[in-house]
Amino acid sequence: MERIRLADDLTFSRLIHGCSRLADWGYSAEQLLGLIEFCLERGITTFDHADIYGNYTCESRFGEALALQPSWRGQMEIVTKCGIKRPSKYGMKSYDTSKDHIIASVEQSLRNFRTDYIDVLLIHRPDPFMNPEEVAEAFLRLKQDGKVRYFGVSNFKRSQWELLQSYLPFPLVTNQIEASAYRLENFADGTVDLCLEKRVPPMVWSPLAGGAIFSADDDRAVRLRGTLEQVRGEAGAATIDEVLYAWLLVHPARMMPIVGSGKRERIERAVRALSLPLSREQWFAIWQSSMGHEVP
C-alpha cells in the first residue's frame, strides 16, 4: 500500500483504521488482534484513537489485544487525541488543553496501549479557552521525554492552526478533518487549501458521511447516489463505497481516509478503492452532484 510521508522518519499508510467504535464491535482481545492482523496484512498500519472513544475504553481494549503480540507495535503507527472531557460536573462536555491535562492524558494513553510512545498526538477539537503557550510547553515536554514523536490537530481551521503553529519550534504534521462527497465544508472554507499550502497531508474522518449518503432522503443524498451509481458502473467498482473513497484518494491533498469499521468486507472495499480509476471528469460530476449546480 502507498505510504504518505508526514516527516523525515514518519509515514502513514494511505488508509487508516479508525477505532472510535471499537467498544461497540463486541470483539474479544483475540478477535481484535485478528482484525489488527487483517489490517496489517493489507498494508494498513496506522490506527486512529482518542482518549474519549468508547467512554474512555477503546485505547485499553486495543492495548489488551496488542499485548498478545507486542512485537507488532513496531509495525504500526498509533495516533491518539486528547482535549475533550466528558461529562463535566455540569453534565456536558468541555475542552481542556491545559499543559497538565495534555500530559496526564498522554500518560494514561501510554498505559492503555501498553507502549512507551505515541507516534502522533492530536488536539481533538479547537478549544476557545486554549492557551497556545501551555499547549506548546506540553508538546515540548512530551517530545523531549520521548513519549510522543510528532503532533498535529483535529478539526482546526486556518486561524486556529496558524495560532498554535506560531508557538511551536517544530511543524504540526497533520490536521484530521471531516470530508466526503456529501459534506464539503472543509473544501469550501479553505481548510483543504491550508493543508495543500502547508504541505500537510490531512487525515479524513467520516469519509462515507457516517452512512448518510446511503440512507438520507434529502435532495443532495438522492442526487449523489444516482451519480455515484453511474460512476461505479463506469469504473467497474463493486459498491459506491469504493467510489466515495476513491473520490478522496485522487485529490492532490494526499488525503488519508479513516476506515472506521470492524467488518473485514468494508475494509476491503476501501482497499479496492486505492486502485479504482477515477477521472477528473468523474470527480467533478460527483462534486457538482453534491453542490446541486455546475461549477461557475
Rounded to an integer, the average pLDDT of 30-42 is 98
Please compute, for residue 184, the number of CA atoms within 13 A of its CA located in the half-sphere on the CB side: 14
For the full predicted model, state whether its pTM sits above 0.85. yes
Instruction: Please report the domains of the chain, with CATH numbers, ordered by start residue.
Output: 3-173 (3.20.20.100)
The Cα-based distances of 244 to 112, 131, 236 in angstroms read: 33, 38, 14
Q: Is 21 helix (H, G, I), strand (E, B) or coil?
A: coil
Residue 90, pLDDT > 80, answer no
Return the pLDDT at 92.
79
Q: Which ranges constitute the DSSP H helices of 189-263?
A: 191-197, 212-215, 219-235, 240-249
Return the pLDDT at 293.
78
Return the pLDDT at 49.
98
Whether 90 is catalytic = no
CB count in 10 Å sphere of residue 288? 14
The Cα-based distances of 158 to 120, 150, 161, 162 in angstroms read: 20, 20, 5, 6
List the catalytic residue out of 27, 53, 56, 95. 53
Return the pLDDT at 283.
97
pLDDT, the chain, mean: 96
Return the pLDDT at 292.
86
Return the pLDDT at 295.
67
Rounded to an integer, the average pLDDT of 250-273 is 97
CB neighbour burial string for 188-205, b if at least 16 within 10 angstroms, e if fewer: eeebbebbeebebbbbbb
Q: Is 233 helix (H, G, I), strand (E, B) or coil?
A: helix
